């Protein structure tokens, strides 16, 4: 009887691309992949540790698996598993915890699937995770997440990712292009480039600290691949988003006009304390450069509230900075202390009620920004990639510049690209449209 395996992924696009690759390894070794809600012999949970909740969520997901099959063998991998292996191994029901160097070799540890009283840990010092493993997600969603880079050499004072994923290193250009071609052959219309600090692409491509290629080289080569309809850059540091890259995207065949650029704070004083590698003036410059060459581009912004030492004045600086900036939406993160980070030792701790009040204010601002951006797109002609789910009788989709649209459910639209005229914003904030070319139902 083929053994059944199921996967659950927490966190970022990079984690999803890695779970998908791990799952393919299992299938290649004769395991049957089933949905996480189904009975399986092995449950693999790919963990995240960026936010507090990710920890609690892990325990809930373990219980979920145990409910379906109390005898199942439960494996934990991912960032949380690398940072706090024993903490996960102590969770009731967990049998195996693998660190960053072992997560792609799970099947090597599955000779004996009998439940362990205590979870076994095969972890490592993060310095040992200095090699690169390519990954891409396929089949789970409309778009494919293509991993091009891993790890980070930056030292942002609030961040644990370098401790969980190691030094900055990149896939070879050759392998990225091979993976992209493989994906495009499987009727996937959109590829999202993912990594930890993808603007640093090229570093460690051949196992050394040098940059053999740059991110600009990468996007230039990817744009030449026939058969890839759309390419989207997931997130890129402002100081690594070069004018040449913005220009390339503006003239590109496949790269879409959507930039997600972490800001984190609109106060230079706080940016210094975060050890970010830019001041807000550079951020303004990046936004205006994008607007110059792509006025219709979508610009998303990551921002952290409640960082140690953030006074009301600093917060208002951030709020006013974002209010005046021509951006399209915000991803708001409430600061949470992470062990072994510099910021966790800093004075000026912001009380939780203040953190959530500030977070609420910025989420309100994000709603306004997204609305204004959508209104600016009504009356324009865009291309929509339709998703695959029937959401209460509607099918959703995204334009190239990340406007979310909806229309009555029609299975023929699934995973197809269509030109549309954006007509109005519906009460739920999604955009209605007319098909440019009559679409025969
Ligand atoms: S750039 Fe900073 S925030 Fe991003 S992963 Fe690296 S250390 Fe963390």
Query: Any idea what the CATH number is for the domain that residue 391 is in?
Result: 2.40.50
If asked whether residues 338 and 267 sit together in one domain, one would say yes
Phi and psi at 148, nearest 5°, equal -120, -15
Give the structural domain span for 137. Answer: 130-256
Residues 249 and 139 in one domain: yes
What contacts 298, CB < 8 A, 6 or more positions away? 257, 258, 259, 328, 329, 373, 401, 402, 403
Q: What is the pLDDT of residue 114?
A: 82
Lowest mean pLDDT among 74-78, 129-133, 255-259, 395-399: 129-133
Per cent of the chain over pLDDT 90 is 88
Domain stops at, among 85, 100, 124: 124
Nearest ligand 1 atom to alpha carbon 196: 5
The answer, yes or no, to whether residue 124 has pLDDT greater than 90, is no
pLDDT of 123 higher than 90: no
pLDDT over 80 at 188, yes or no: yes
Q: Report how many domains make up the chain.
A: 4
Question: In this structure, are 290 and 252 located in the same domain?
Answer: no
Whether residue 57 is found in the same domain as residue 114: yes
- Residue 345 is given by DSSP the state G
**Taking residues 111-131, what's their average pLDDT?**
85
Same domain flag for 390 and 331: no
Pocket test for ligand 1, best of 152, 260, 302, 343 (most atoms within 8 A of CB): 152
343 CA → ligand 1 middle, Å: 13
Domain boundary among 59, 93, 124: 124
- Domain shared by 145 and 251, yes or no: yes
Helix (H) or strand (E) holding 175: helix 173-184
Nearest-atom number in ligand 1 for the CA of 160 is 8
Q: Is the Cβ atom of 264 under 6 angstroms away from ligand 1?
A: no
pLDDT digits (tens, 9 = 90+) for 161-186: 999 999 999 999 999 999 999 999 99
Task: With a cut of 60, say whether residue 64 has pLDDT above it.
Answer: yes
**Is the per-residue pLDDT at 441 higher than 60?**
no
For the Cβ of 159 lying below 6 angstroms from any atom of ligand 1, the answer is yes
To test the ligand 1 pocket, which listed residue (159, 163, 201) has its Cβ within 8 A of the most ligand atoms?
159
Query: DSSP strand E in 195-340: where?
Result: 230-233, 258-264, 298-305, 329-334
Do 9 and 119 sit in the same domain of this protein? Answer: yes
- Does pLDDT of 54 surpass 80? no
Indicate whether 244 and 264 sit together in one domain: no
Using only C-alpha atoms, what is the Rg of the chain? 22
CATH number of the domain encompassing residue 238:
3.30.750.210
Tokens at 155, concatenated = 């030292």
Distances (CA, A) of 80 to 15, 85, 151, 232, 359: 12, 7, 14, 27, 25
The answer to whether the CB of 162 is under 6 A from ligand 1 is: yes
CATH number of the domain where residue 66 is located: 3.40.50.12160
Distance 152 CA to ligand 1 centre (A): 6
Are residues 360 and 416 both part of a single domain? no
Averaged over 194-200, what is the pLDDT?
Answer: 97
Q: Is 409 exposed, middle or buried (0-12, 13-18, 19+ CB in 10 A)?
A: middle
Quick one: 291 and 352 in the same domain? yes
- Final residue in a domain of this structure, among 321, 343, 373: 373
Tell me, using a 6 A CB cutoff, whether residue 343 lines ligand 1: no
| 153 and 244 co-located in one domain | yes
Residues 11 and 113 in one domain: yes
**The ligand 1 atom nearest the CA atom of 237:** 1
């Amino acid at each position: 009887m083929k053994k059944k395996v199921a996967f659950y992924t927490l966190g970022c696009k990079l984690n999803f691309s890695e779970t998908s690759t791990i799952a393919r390894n299992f299938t290649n070794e004769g395991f049957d992949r089933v949905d996480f809600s189904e009975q399986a012999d092995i449950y693999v949970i790919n963990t995240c540790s960026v936010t507090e909740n990710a920890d609690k969520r892990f325990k809930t997901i373990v219980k979920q698996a145990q409910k379906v099959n109390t005898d199942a063998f439960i494996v934990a991998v991912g960032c949380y598993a690398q940072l706090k292996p024993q903490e996960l191994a102590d969770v009731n029901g967990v049998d195996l915890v693998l660190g960053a160097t072992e997560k792609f070799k799970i099947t090597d540890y599955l000779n004996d699937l009998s439940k362990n009283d205590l979870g076994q840990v095969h972890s490592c010092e993060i310095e040992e995770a200095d090699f690169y493993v390519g990954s891409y997600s396929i089949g789970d969603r409309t778009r494919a997440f293509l991993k091009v880079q891993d790890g980070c050499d930056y030292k942002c004072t609030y961040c644990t990712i370098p401790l969980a994923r190691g030094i900055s290193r990149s896939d070879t250009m050759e392998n990225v292009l091979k993976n992209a071609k493989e994906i495009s052959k499987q009727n996937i219309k959109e590829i999202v480039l993912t990594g930890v600090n993808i603007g640093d692409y090229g570093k460690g491509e051949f196992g050394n600290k040098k940059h053999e290629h740059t991110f600009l080289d990468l996007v230039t080569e990817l744009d030449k691949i026939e058969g890839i309809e759309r390419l989207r850059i997931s997130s890129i540091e402002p100081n690594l988003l070069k004018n040449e890259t913005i220009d390339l995207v503006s003239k590109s065949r496949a790269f879409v006009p959507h930039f997600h650029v972490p800001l984190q704070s609109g106060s230079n004083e706080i940016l210094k304390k975060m050890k970010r590698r830019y001041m807000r003036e550079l951020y303004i410059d990046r936004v205006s450069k994008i607007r110059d060459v792509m006025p219709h581009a979508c610009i998303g912004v990551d921002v952290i509230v409640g960082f140690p030492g953030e006074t009301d004045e600093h917060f208002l600086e951030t709020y006013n900075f974002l209010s005046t900036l021509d951006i399209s939406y915000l991803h708001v993160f409430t600061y949470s202390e992470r062990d072994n980070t510099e910021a966790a030792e800093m004075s000026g701790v912001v009380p939780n009620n203040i953190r959530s009040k500030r977070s609420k204010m910025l989420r309100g601002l994000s709603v306004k920004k997204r609305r204004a951006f959508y209104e600016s797109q009504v009356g324009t002609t865009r291309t929509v990639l339709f998703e695959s789910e029937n959401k209460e009788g509607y099918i959703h989709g995204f334009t190239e510049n990340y406007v979310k649209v909806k229309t009555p459910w029609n299975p023929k639209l699934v995973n197809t690209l269509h030109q549309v005229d954006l007509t109005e914003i519906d009460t739920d904030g999604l955009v209605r449209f007319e098909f440019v070319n009559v679409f025969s139902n």
